[in-house]
Structure 1
Amino acid sequence: MIFMANLKCNHTRKSFEEYAQILDESLKDENVFVFPPSSAFLEGSFKFKQAAQNFYPAKNGSFTGEIGQDMLDEFDIKTVLIGHSERRAIGESEEQLKAKFEYAKKEGFKIVYCIGENEEIFEKGKTKEFLKSQLENIDLDYENLIIAYEPIWAIGTGKTASSEIINDVLNYIRNFSKSSLLYGGSVNEKNIATISKIKNCSGVLVGTASWDAKAFLKLINSAKEMI
């Protein structure tokens, strides 16, 4: 099972060093990715894979405030997050997401591509139609692609999609791609056992419950008990 921690705008380099040490002391052979803020990237090798929450589709250049590939290469980062709803909410367009995807694909990055619907679309019963439109933007046959389904109405709200909803949506996405499929949206220690049993769910993209290293480890261990 894949466990991904999106630390979002949390942790300094000092606190992330402590976070990394706690994980390294406890992890064995689990498949774990951690997305720290770019200012907290660490040099060295770890039992987890360090990944980027955001990047600009260029090696470097006159792109004020952006993170180029050269900066990721310095820390041997080969996994990137694209399409998270919080990036879309601040204005990243489908055109920008496609440019990021094509660049990352060209450079051989592992891409975690996020899709998800808001509450209005969910309530209208148009989730699948909406998700299909988001998937049309990318190469679904790319061998280093992971798709993360994150219903916006469940991110940071404490609401989690039921196992029936997750199962139905992931089964639908499976019609279009053979990639690993993740679920994200208020994943925590209490619901991870149920989520881990869903047939087409290869893992989870965890937000709030991953910000504390010990809490994240408890979540991982809870899932392992069910595998």
Structure 2
Amino acid sequence: MLVALEGIDGAGKTTQLRLLEERARRQGLRVASLSFPRYTETVFGRCVAAYLRGDFGPLTEVPPRSAALLFAGDRLESLELLSRLATESDLLLLDRYVASNLAHQGARLTGAEREAFLTWLAHLEYDVFGLPRPTLTLYLRLPVAVATRLLATRAQQQNQRGTRDIHEEDAVYLARCAEVYEQLASTRADGPWETIACADEQERLRPPAEIAAQIWSLLERYGAI
């Protein structure tokens, strides 16, 4: 079973993947994981890192389709590894996948242009490149205001003030990414989606263990574990 964890920056995807992986292993499952982009492992991944640093110019100067091709190329380079891990494992966990590309680049377009772009990119990654569709996508929903605070705090803690990537530094852009994620979750075009709230109605973060328990219950319902 191939499970993708998605959500805007700061939603806790890496933390939840780690908790899920640890619990699955304790249950005796063969589990593997991959995180995209693979910044240092592929040629396209290194290009993605340069793009996110702003080496290709500010976000507004890089066409969405050009940026999307970098992220898609990273997965295409990883397809052999992805297929092998899927074959060898009971559960393959992905920290970001095709939906991340759809959300982050689709966020820069509106209306009919966005719809045409989403259709084009999904066709490119799934049909042309032959990437497997997720058995289940877990969307970690986080309010943009909370994500913005978390990203700022993280930068300060790591003594990296002013060095956030070009996707993280724009709150308006993050809000548009969240908008596309909501659209993808509601249409479920590439398979089943489940939405997990990462904050309560007062925008207080839920404990990671509580979120992990909800995710585990969902995987039980889908027969993944």
The TM-score bracket by the shorter chain reads 0.3 to 0.5
Normalised to the residue count of structure 1, the TM-score between the two structures is: 0.40
Normalised to the residue count of structure 2, the TM-score between the two structures is: 0.40
Which structure has greater helix proportion? Answer: 2
